[in-house]
Each structure stands twice: as structure tokens, then as C-alpha cells.
A and B are shown apart, each in its own frame.
Chain A
Amino acid sequence: MATVHEIDTGGHAPALEARNLSVFYGEKQAVKDVSLVIPAHQVVALIGPSGCGKSTLLRCFNRMNDLVIGARIEGEVLFHGQNLYDSDVDPVEVRRRIGMVFQKPNPFPKSVYENAAFGPRIQGFKGDLDDLVEESLRAAALWDEVSDRLSESAYTLSGGQQQRLCIARTLAVKPEIVLMDEPASALDPIATQKIEDLIWELKERYTIVIVTHNMQQAARISDYAAFLYMGELIEYGPTDTIFTNPKEERTESYVTGRFG
């Protein structure tokens, strides 16, 4: 049942395209033959009940599943016409261009500055690192709060600040796409609000794919939404349509909170 979800990308070039993507953990199939197009400079939300394969799908987009022992991927993910899973593609390079922010803030046990500088440093960044760190922290709407404590441990920051630091750290590498796996689920409403505002600003420069459990959040911040259920992509389209006028009954009952 290979449903290719051709959607109107509103003139946006595709940033990523999954073709007949399946993921297996041992015997268990977590993602089933998913095909979708992620338009550039848009926010795409992956929604669906717990365990439906949102994280697994997201992690396919920058080959993070390579790190999971026993995970096997079939199908293609096209990025600038190149299949990310071709044997000559270096996953390290992929992850530099497609960054990831995780559910729980995971700053390194280093200073705020060193966290933001980590990516550029390992890439042998030659320019003015101070500038890049400031730029990244500003882009993550964190600079004003931490500019006078750059040398303090990242663990002295609040959870919300830590998460924005993780976003800054990702932006410092200058990726084209930012993948976010429930980036606000461990945060309080105010911190969540800040992250949402930030995502809105970031889409100017980046393509964002975000997993979220929170329907209001998905409705607020995303341009497109993909509903997954038991590993299958049930429906994909503009967020408005998904939330107000879905074609599938399962989508409707999920977004209206009747299950999941």
C-alpha cells in the first residue's frame, strides 16, 4: 500500500523527500512504507499516538537510526537529489547538514560557550568563533539571558534555557534542516512558549520537522502536518486541512482527541 502523498508545496522546493521508507527493529516494523515530501522553509509536524513511529521516522532523516543496534532501514530519503542511504554517503556529513534537537535537553557538561562552539570546533571552524557563538545564541533567543555567564556550566541554566542552548548548538553548525523531537515536552508553559516563538522565527532560514504530542502546538506552529498511526502515514497535508477538514476518519478522531 504505497501511498505517495503528493501535496501542494505552495511553490516551496522540496527539502527532503522520503520514498517508501520502512524501519525495522529486529522483527518489528516501526515505520511502514512511508512516502512524503518536506517543503523547504516550512514547519512540518509529525503527529500521532505514542509508539506510532514519529521519533523513528524523524531519526531516519539524519541517519540517527544508524546508531541503534538492530535497526534496519529500507527505502530512500532524498536530499538535494541524493539518497541519504546510498553507500557512498557519510552519515557524519548528513548530520552536519540536517541537525537534531532532542526531547530532553542534553547539553554537554561544558560551559555555555563550549556547548555552542562544539559543532564549529569539530569542523575546524576558522572564522571568529566568538561571533558565531553569539550569533547562534541570538538566533536561539538565548543571548540576552546568558551573555554574562558564557563560562558557566550549561547545567546552571534552567530547563528551557538548556533546550534553547541545544537549539543554538545545532544552529551553530549552520544546518539546512532542523529536526526536533518533542523539543518542548519537558518544559513548562512559559519555556514552551519561547520555543514555539523561536520555531516561528527559525523557519525563515531553516526547514523544520517537529514531532509533537500536543495538538494545539502542532496547530499553532506547523504549516504541514503528517498523521502517523501504527507506523503508517495515514494522512499528510496543510495543517489547516488536517485539523479542520481531514479526509481520513482516523485522523479526525485523533486530532479531535477521541483517541491516542
Chain B
Amino acid sequence: MKERAIGWALFACAGLSTLVTAGIVCILLRETLGFFSEVSIVEYLTGTEWTPQFGEKHFGVLPLAAGSLLIATGAAIVAVPIGLLTAIYMSEYARHRTRSVLKPTLELLAGVPTVVYGYFALTFITPLIRQFFPETDIFNAASAAVVVGIMIIPTVSSLSEDALRAVPQALREGAFGLGATKLEVSLRVVVPAALSGIVASFILAISRAVGETMAVSIAAGNLAQLTANPLKSIQTMTAYVVQVSLGDTPQGTIVYQTLFAVAFTLFLITLAMNILSQWVMRRFREVYE
């Protein structure tokens, strides 16, 4: 009797979170459809100006998408090599003791509130960049990309490490037995064998970078412009959502609806990346079976 009650309670909890997720998607979808009844999808996807709050309104999402892309690319440039090398070190080189210190420390990186990263970018990274490039905007994509990169290092390193460790010891021994050095074993056997898992960790980390909000709102500026120059102010999709949410935009207006269109776009992008990483991960399971 009691068992059954507990069963039901747990089911209710699980059901509730599923319902909430479904509800969010429904609302997103409804408002997004409302938005697209006024703005053509073609304009949204191909327009190069994003000015919903101005007198002359343009609804081209490209500047925001480019902003997010710039951040994600920059973050990947920081996080992929550092994260992967850290993972290789931890899985192949580090002694047990070293790893037991290093791993929690790295995971701490993930626990730092993102607002702290934002101010770190603004007060430390930007001045640093300006020493080399004095014309850098106060709010710029590069500084935000660097901190977002630092933020996602644990995602890359921890998932890549799992993938590397899953490689059977027998493969390492086989390579050592042929007179391979530790570096050759790591780079020519273990990393290739774990490649799909490693790639999946990259994708997941980049999807986190795309979804990152607070640090980019603070450090990257709020100027939706289509540029590839990381030293300029930009606006990402997430930062736009924050900006509009914080203002007093009346419900039902077109500006209000842009919020949902952008959020929905973001949702689709991260969903696609998550599915992609799952798919890559599953493929890799079969490699050395």
C-alpha cells in the first residue's frame, strides 16, 4: 500500500516535469507562430538587420545568430584544445593522487556563477585585450568568448576523459608492445579510438556556449550587428532575450513575440546539437566492441 503510494508520488513528479517541458515548448511554439504570421520566415532567416525596438523595424535574425556563432567559435577555440589536453593528461598521464585533486578543481570551474565570469571578462580580459588591440570596444565578443570558453572546459575535459578511459587497456598494451611511446599510444591509439566520444563532448560544450546568457549579456555588449570582428560589440540570441525580458515590453506586441521566436530558434539549435552529440556518442559505442 505504502509502496504504491510512493510509486504514484514519484510518477507524479516525473510526469510533472515532462508536462512542464511540454508546456514550455507549446507556449514557445504558439508565440512563435504568432510572430511568423506577421513576419515572413524568409525575412527572419535571411535579413541582415535586427531592429525590432526601433521605429523602422527589421527582423533579420542573422546578426544575433552571427553573434552567437562568434561566441561559440571563440569559446571552442579556447575550450577544445585545453579541455582535450586536460582530458588526455588526466586519463593517460596523471597519477591517481594528482587526478583526485585536479578533477574536483576543474569541476569547480563549472560551479562558478556565470555572472562572475561576466565581470571577470569585463574587468580583466577586456583590459588585457586592449593592451594588444587598443581599438577594442569596452563590450566585445572576444572577452565574452574567452570566459565562456573557460566555463565550458570542464564539459570538454570531463566527457572526453570518460571517453578516453573507456578505451580498453588491451589497446594501450598492444601499442606499447609495439614499442610506442606514451605520447604515441595516447595520440595514435587512445584518442582515435575515443574520437566519437570526444567529438560529442565538443558538440555538447559548444551547445552550452550557444546557450550561455549571463556572461555574454554583461561582456559582449547589446548591439545586434552583423560582424565577424571579435573586438566589436555584438549581441547574441540569448543576450537579446534577456534584454527584452528585462524591459517592460507589453504582451502581444511584435517585440514581445520576437522574444519567443528567438528563444524557439535557440531551442532548436541546442536541441539539434544535443541530438547530434547523442548520435555521435552512440556510434562510438560500437567501435571497439
Contact = CB atoms under 8 A, between A and B. Distances in A.
Interface in B161-195: 168, 170-181, 184, 188-189, 192-193
Interface stretch (A20-28, A34-42, A116-124, A210-218): A116-124
A45 interface: no
B132 interface: no
- Main secondary structure, interface of B, reads helix
Given A99-B178, A122-B178, A122-B188, A109 B193 contact: yes
Interface stretch (A9-17, A89-97, A197-205, A236-244): A89-97
A96 B192 contact: no
B174 A119 contact: no
Contacts of B170: 102, 104, 106
A102 B173 CA distance: 9
Nearest to A169: B178
A118 B287 CA distance: 18
Nearest to A94: B179
B173 A119 contact: no
B11 interface: no
B54 interface: no
Interface residues of A, number: 29
B178 A170 contact: yes
Contacts of A108: 171, 174-175, 189, 192-193
A223 B177 CA distance: 24
A166 interface: yes
B175 A92 contact: no
Interface in A121-163: 122-123, 155
Contact of B288 (A118, A122, A155): A155
Nearest to A101: B177
B178 A119 contact: yes
A73 interface: no
A109 B226 CA distance: 44
Contacts of B178: 95-96, 99, 118-119, 122, 169-170, 173
B98 to A, nearest CB: 13
B176 A95 contact: yes
A122 B193 contact: no
A170 B180 CA distance: 12
A72 interface: no
12 contacts: A64-B173, A96-B179, A100-B173, A102-B173, A106-B168, A108-B192, A108-B193, A118-B180, A118-B188, A122-B188, A155-B287, A170-B177
Given A92-B179, A122-B181, 15 more contacts: A95-B177, A99-B177, A102-B170, A102-B173, A102-B174, A108-B174, A108-B193, A109-B171, A109-B192, A109-B287, A122-B179, A122-B188, A155-B288, A155-B289, A169-B178
